[in-house]
């Protein structure tokens, strides 16, 4: 079985179409969607429909639960919260219901456990970012105890490609474009992001897990980012001062809070 892993589409239809075409060409048998189909961009309804028709192994991300009201607005930054409110007002009832009924954890047989954030917490796992070894160790412990017997846990939320191996208590970063899995180890893997790049890689990314050959292969697909950008910009979902680095925008907001002019800046979209 060849599983195609995707995550963090964030309503970017151009990116989703590109990566699905790439996965089809790669010969994937089943899609695994690790959550955050919605958020930030404008094509949530179309992205939900495209994912849904593939009948994937599918878990909810924090943005999916934000748009349905299962997570409060206070769990999101102002740009994300604005996009969620915009999306909620436009999604059809069946699309919202599809998101509302998604599980937080799912399995692909005994091959793989799927989560959005992390495997270890009983509550709020979709909000935990697996971006350090301390948290990875907690999720590895949960994977080793998982009733499915799966040795691989796939997650999203970090928007970064990763392959981490646990063997005999040692935790190794084995991130590479092609990795052969050992039979005597456990793995925590992330396919990066389809539609919301945050690092140098700007293409849509995914991963193919061949459960028989025990291989992981990273896939990348280029797409026309300007089309997505124009739609997002026209909908007013990009901060007006997006060209300032995020750190600088944060510093401005912090100063504004101290000077009690934060609400004015928020209206201006900083």
Task: Catalog residues that contact Fe ion under the rule CB under 5 A.
Answer: 8, 36
Contact indicator for 189, 5 with CB cutoff of 8 Å = yes
Distance in Å, CB of 80 to Fe ion, minimum? 9
Which of 114/179 has CB closer to Fe ion?
114
**Separation of alpha carbons 67 and 82, rounded Å:** 10
Contact indicator for 21, 210 with CB cutoff of 8 Å = no
Distance in Å, CB of 219 to Fe ion, minimum? 18
Distance in Å, CB of 253 to Fe ion, minimum? 21
Instruction: Using DSSP bridges, classify how beta strands 161-167 and 152-154 pair: parallel, antiparallel or unpaired.
Output: unpaired
Which of 237/265 has CB closer to Fe ion?
237
**Separation of alpha carbons 88 and 58, rounded Å:** 20
Instruction: Using DSSP bridges, classify how beta strands 2-6 and 186-191 pair: parallel, antiparallel or unpaired.
Output: unpaired
Which of 85/251 has CB closer to Fe ion?
85
Structure tokens at 175: 């991130």
Contact indicator for 64, 37 with CB cutoff of 8 Å = yes
Distance in Å, CB of 7 to Fe ion, minimum? 7
Which of 105/116 has CB closer to Fe ion?
116
């Amino acid at each position: 079985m060849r599983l195609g892993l995707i995550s963090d589409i964030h309503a970017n239809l151009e990116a989703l179409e590109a990566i699905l075409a790439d996965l089809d060409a790669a010969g994937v048998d089943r899609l695994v969607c690790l959550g955050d189909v919605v958020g930030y961009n404008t094509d949530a309804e179309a992205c939900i429909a495209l994912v849904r028709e593939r009948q994937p192994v599918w878990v909810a991300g924090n943005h999916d639960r934000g748009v349905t009201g299962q997570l409060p607005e206070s769990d999101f930054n102002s740009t994300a919260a604005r996009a969620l409110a915009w999306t909620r007002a436009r999604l059809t009832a069946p699309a919202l219901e599809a998101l509302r009924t998604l599980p937080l954890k799912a399995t692909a047989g005994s091959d793989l456990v799927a989560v959005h954030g992390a495997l270890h917490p009983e509550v709020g796992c979709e909000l935990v970012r697996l971006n350090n070894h301390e948290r990875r160790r907690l999720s590895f412990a949960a994977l080793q105890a998982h009733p499915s017997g799966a040795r691989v846990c796939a997650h999203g939320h970090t928007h970064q490609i990763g392959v981490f191996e646990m063997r005999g208590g040692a935790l190794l970063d084995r991130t590479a474009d092609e990795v052969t899995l050992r039979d005597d180890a456990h793995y925590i893997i992330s396919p990066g992001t389809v539609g919301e790049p945050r690092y140098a890689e700007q293409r849509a990314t995914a991963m193919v897990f061949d459960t028989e050959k025990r291989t992981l292969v990273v896939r990348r697909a280029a797409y026309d980012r300007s089309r997505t950008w124009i739609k997002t910009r026209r909908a007013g979902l990009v901060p007006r001062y997006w060209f300032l680095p995020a750190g600088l925008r944060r510093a401005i907001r912090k100063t504004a809070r101290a000077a009690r002019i934060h609400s004015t800046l928020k209206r201006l979209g900083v």
